[in-house]
Structure 1
Amino acid sequence: MIRIALLGAGLIGREHAELIQTHPGAELAAICDPSPEGKALAERLSVPHFSAYVEALEKTRPDGAIIALPNRLHEAAALACIDRGIASLVEKPVADTVAAGARIAEASEDRGVPVLVGHHRRHSPDIRAAKKSIAAGELGGLVAVNGMTLFDKPEPYFQAEWRRQPGGGPLLINLIHDIDALRHLVGEIESVRAFTSSAVRGFAVEDTASIAIRFRNGVLGSFVISDAAVSPWAWEYCSGQALYHPSQPGPCLFIAGRKAALSVSDMYLWRHAEQDHHWQHPLLREHRPGDGSRTYVNQLDHFLAVIRREAAPLISARDGLATLAATLAVEMAAREDRTVTLDEMLATAGQRAVA
């Protein structure tokens, strides 16, 4: 049995606890969370409870740790795990700043202790199927991509003051998942341009954004996101894989290539019947379904393999750093009304993009 310490027992932390408890190859070594809710969860699951993560790591000596703490605490907790040779799964974002993410990546690489970043969509059957189709050359050379994440968060969600302030909006909370999926499927991002608006709620933080993306391989993309719009067009709905949202099967991402186009998450491939056909010929529609697996179970299975040193992290700390830098570039591009490159973002911490 692989023993895992859970650092942070908030909404996603509690889901991790339940997944570990029901997994035949894992067990909870400890829950570390100073809140009464964290202590109650530990008591309910009959596992040791701690208020300080260093004490939890020292006293329980787990095989791995899941870091589901507030973003500003990711760096210190990840470094504490690395110092003790403990593989960790760090919930997204890898850190709250590019510099902090860079320090985690460097420590992980220097010490040879793996860090897996919790961009769970890469473990989702629809994203897996899309990656397989692209890698197999079914779409040919990629040309363009377009996507959207549109949903309506309720008023009580914004009772927390930090969600009404810069950094608490859909860019860093939600778009970061889409950015990671785009990097995974399409390629590394070269630069972004963006516009944001807070016209719906009038908060200091954005509620809507539109983004133009240039990828290093020449692909161009666009994306729109809002947490103030009613729609079924978001991965959380379309994939049927989210923990807290209803399933609304359909597409939310469209990838077009020289040979075919693919819609995700409904996973339809559109292609010509003959190689010499063009825009005046009808298209054939073929289904490319996933394997029916569950995203978060897949992620835990992978993390166990990482802990056992049987697999390299699918999303390493450096990979997660590139996703964080690209997401922060969107915020900067909108705020400063200019194009922002990933090289510029990473240079602030003396880093380079993932090759």
Structure 2
Amino acid sequence: MVTKLRVGIIGAGGIATDAHIPNYLKCGEKVELIAICDVVKEKADKAALEFNIPHVFSSYEEMFQKIQIDAVSICTPNKFHYPATIAALQAGCHVLCEKPPAMTVKEAEQMAIAAEKAGKILTYGFHFRHAPQVEVLKRFIDGGELGDIYAARVTAMRRRGIPGWGVFTNKELQGGGPLIDIGVHMLDAALYLMGYPEPDTVFGVTYQKLGNKQGVGLMGAWDWENFSIEDMARGMITFKNGASILLETAFAANVEKHDEMNVSLMGDKGGADVFPLKIYQEKHDTLIDITPSHLPKKGWHVLELERFVDSCLEGTIPLSTSKQGVYLQKIINGLYESAEKGEAIKLSENVPV
């Protein structure tokens, strides 16, 4: 039985150096951070020097050939999630892949199949699931406090928050814009709290109104002349149990708040907003609001990495499963397809979760 996880990092960008690597190091004796690779080797060299990582490579193929690794974090642009995950699983590694799972439903399905065939963990970087607000509300939901959750609203809106770095505005490398980048976080949180009901139909619309123009950037200047993604997406998802979700997400929109990430749930016994957490109920002929007086302050990325490591060492099921990744990919790609065709899309194929 492995008592210390030998971990490799694929991709040396900001999510690796700001979130994954520092939080692996906080796992202490459970983890040995052994290698890092990036196609831009200078970036990998810099991260290796900063975090004292002994082995550096320019490709994951070389990394898997030359050293023994138990688990990897995949921190590449979305386009490369699929090939890197397949290679890692075939090399006998557990995988924590950043969100979204992939670019297409077929890729996400093949990733899940490869994980099952290899007998390895494949989980995704939906760190909002590890937020204390989500964890507390999940306990209330599991205790029946909200009853039958039949409606939800998902919001991931920025006023002028187009990332001015990386490849976030490149559709070929990312697959899309705010829907697949920040909207997917809140959508996953909502689905998780709702118990991941089986989707039935999606209807989506996308807009490119502000990102393809020069303007104020609260997250740095972006390449507006080569802006190939949507700057806003809206949609509705219906489920076979009768529930529905309304979704709104944007990198740039003429709204009041600079940044809003939230999930609102409505059940027949209560409702809730998640960020900040507030629960709405009717009890003893009185309408009441419930707010926690204290929430744990441990970082969400800290918990995400700790739990991934523990799942790998102990053989337990991770909080986010590969089959749920397929499920979510179906919804995201269905919304994009609906927006392109201008019609609702039926998601007829079942995905067990």
TM-score over 0.5 for the pair: yes
The aligned residue for residue 45 of structure 2 is 39
TM-aligned CA distance change 1:120 to 1:156, over 3 Å: closer
8 Å contact from structure 2 (residues 189, 263) kept in 1: no
Q: Does 1:95 align with 2:64?
A: no
8 Å contact from structure 1 (residues 5, 57) kept in 2: no
**Aligned partner (choices 60, 66, 89) of residue 53 of structure 1:** 60
Superposed CA offset, 1:194-252 (max 9, x none)? 222222334553212221121232112212111113515523xxxxxxxxxxxxxxxx2
For 1:89, give the aligned amino acid.
L
Deviation at 1:73, TM superposition (A): 2.0
Moved more, 314-323 or 149-158: 149-158
Superposed CA offset, 1:4-49 (max 9, x none)? 1011111101121122223313231101113212211112222211
Indicate the RMSD between aligned Cα atoms, in angstroms.
Answer: 2.3
Deviation at 1:154, TM superposition (A): 5.0
8 Å contact from structure 1 (residues 170, 226) kept in 2: yes
The aligned residue for residue 300 of structure 2 is 295
Alignment of 1:33-182 (within 5 A): 33-35=38-40, 36-47=42-53, 48-153=55-160, 157=164, 162-163=169-170, 167-182=175-190
Q: Distance in 2 between matches of 1:99 and 1:164?
A: 18
8 Å contact from structure 1 (residues 146, 254) kept in 2: yes
The aligned residue for residue 312 of structure 2 is 307
Q: Does 1:222 align with 2:225?
A: no
What secondary structure, in the 3-state scheme, does the structure 2 residue paired with 1:234 have?
strand
Deviation at 1:180, TM superposition (A): 1.3
TM-aligned CA distance change 1:11 to 1:325, over 3 Å: same
For 1:128, give the aligned amino acid.
E
Q: Distance in 2 between matches of 1:306 and 1:176?
A: 23
For 1:4, give the aligned amino acid.
V
TM-aligned CA distance change 1:205 to 1:134, over 3 Å: same
For 1:8, give the aligned amino acid.
G
For 1:175, give the aligned amino acid.
G
TM-aligned CA distance change 1:258 to 1:228, over 3 Å: same
Deviation at 1:327, TM superposition (A): 0.8
For 1:85, give the aligned amino acid.
G
The answer for unaligned runs of 5 or more in structure 2 is 213-226
Q: Distance in 2 between matches of 1:225 and 1:133?
A: 27
The aligned residue for residue 209 of structure 2 is 199
Superposed CA offset, 1:153-210 (max 9, x none)? 4567279594377834111122121221122112323221122222233455321222
8 Å contact from structure 2 (residues 101, 325) kept in 1: yes
The aligned residue for residue 340 of structure 1 is 345
Q: Distance in 2 between matches of 1:139 and 1:155?
A: 36
Alignment of 1:204-283 (within 5 A): 204-229=228-253, 230-231=256-257, 234-235=260-261, 252-274=262-284, 277=285, 282-283=286-287
The aligned residue for residue 353 of structure 1 is 351
For 2:326, give the aligned amino acid.
L
- TM-score, normalised with respect to structure 1: 0.85
The aligned residue for residue 3 of structure 1 is 6
TM-aligned CA distance change 1:151 to 1:204, over 3 Å: same
TM-aligned CA distance change 1:142 to 1:304, over 3 Å: same
Superposed CA offset, 1:240-290 (max 9, x none)? xxxxxxxxxxxx22211111111112211111122xx4xxxx511112454
Deviation at 1:78, TM superposition (A): 1.5
Superposed CA offset, 1:310-342 (max 9, x none)? 311221222111111111111111111111133
What secondary structure, in the 3-state scheme, does the structure 2 residue paired with 1:195 have?
strand
- TM-score, normalised with respect to structure 2: 0.85
For 1:41, give the aligned amino acid.
A
What secondary structure, in the 3-state scheme, does the structure 2 residue paired with 1:146 have?
strand
For 1:174, give the aligned amino acid.
I
Q: Distance in 1 between matches of 2:186 and 2:157?
A: 12
8 Å contact from structure 2 (residues 61, 87) kept in 1: yes
The aligned residue for residue 218 of structure 2 is none
For 1:130, give the aligned amino acid.
L
TM-aligned CA distance change 1:110 to 1:182, over 3 Å: same
Identity of aligned residues (%): 25
Q: Distance in 2 between matches of 1:283 and 1:154?
A: 37
